[in-house]
A = this chain, B = another copy of it.
Amino acid sequence: MTSLGFGVLGAGRIGRLHARNLSGAVDRARVVGVMDAIPEAAEVVAAASDGAYATQDAEALIKDEQIDCVLIASPTTLHAEQIVLAARAGKAIFCEMPVAFTLPETIEAMEVVEETGVPFQIGFNRRFDPGIAAVAEAIHSGGLGEVEMFRSQSGDHSPPPLDYVATSGGIYLDSAIHDIDVARFIVGEVERVTALGRVLIEPGMEEHGDVDTSVLTLEFASGALGIIQNSRRTAYGHDVRVEVHAAAGKVVSEEERDTQAWTYTREGIRGDYRSDFLERFKQAYIRELQSFVDAVLEGRKPSPGPRDAVESLRVAIAATRSLHEKRPVRLVEVA
C-alpha cells in the first residue's frame, strides 16, 4: 500500500483544511470522500480534493472499502459515535479534539478503540508545531536536566461569537486544553490545578459561566510547577509561546511572527505579526497528519493517542471545576 485513502467527516473550516493538506502537503495520503450534512459544503471540499466524492451519509463513507482512514472533523457531539463506528469498521482514526465534552463518553469511546486495536490519533496539533516540538525534544533529550517550571500562553486574536461560547465547553475545554496537552507532553502528568478566571473582554461570557482571561497553575506529579495563561483577545494576533525552565537552563519556543522584513524609519523599527491561528499552526496541521499517515503505514501506534485524549481532557475538566468551585482541584477527583 503506497498511499492511504481518507474519508473526511465534516467539511467546516477544520475539515476543509485537513482535506486540503491530505490532497496536497501530506505524502502518501489522498482524500477519497468527504461527508457533510450540508451537501454544498461537502461538494466544495470534495471538488478541491482531486477526484474525491461528496456524500451526506457518514456511515456509508466510514464503511467504504476504498477508505483506510477516517478523519473526524464533525461537531464535537458526533465524535464519540463516529469513532465507535469507524473502530468497529476497522478503520484507522484521526479525530479532532476533544473526543467529547465529558470524561465518561471519552473513556467509553477510547475503550472501543483499544478493544478493536485500530490506530487512533487525537488532534492535539501543537505537539507538531516546530517550535514546541523543539522545546519538547530539548527537554526529552535530558540535556537540561529535570523540569522545574513550565509556562505556556495562548491568545486568540479576538473572542469567539457568544453562540459558539455557549457550546464550546468553556475556555479550558475549548482553548487551554491545547496548552494542557503540551504541558503533559513535555513535563508529564498533572496532580492538581488551580484556576483563576475573569471576564474582562466580553461581558456576555458571564451568562455562559465562562471567562475570557485565565491564569491556571499546574502542580505536576514530578514536583514541577506550571502556568498556563489564556486570553480570548490578543489584539495583535494569535500568540502561542512555550517556555520551560529546567535544572541546567531554559528553552523557549521561537515566536511565530509573520515578519519577513524589518523596516527602520524615524518612527523606529517595525515588523508584522501573524494574526490567524490556521496560519500560525500551518506547519503543525500538516505535520500531525504526516505523523499519523507514517505511523499507520509503518505499523506503529500514532501519538498522541487514546490516553492523551482522556488525560488532557481530565485536566481541562479539573480546571473548569476549579474555576467554578474557586478551589484547587486534584485530578483524582475527576472521574
Contacts and interface: CB of A to CB of B under 8 A. Distances in A.
Contacts of A127: none
Nearest to A228: B227
A106 B209 CA distance: 42
A251 B257 contact: no
A90 interface: no
Interface residues of A, number: 65
Nearest to A257: B269
A266 interface: yes
Contact of A134 (B200, B260, B267): B260
A265 B235 contact: yes
A234 B239 CA distance: 25
A256 to B, nearest CB: 9
Contacts of A250: 234, 236, 239, 263-264
Complex A-B, nearest 5 residue pairs according to Cβ-Cβ distance, in ascending order: A249-B265, A134-B261, A134-B260, A236-B264, A130-B260
5 contacts: A134-B260, A231-B245, A235-B265, A237-B264, A251-B261
Interface of A: 24-25, 27, 30, 50, 130-131, 133-135, 138, 144, 146, 148-149, 151, 155, 194, 196, 198, 200-201, 213-215, 217, 219, 223-227, 229, 231, 233-237, 239, 245, 247-254, 257, 259-273
Given A198-B223, A215-B227, 4 more contacts: A234-B264, A254-B259, A254-B262, A268-B273
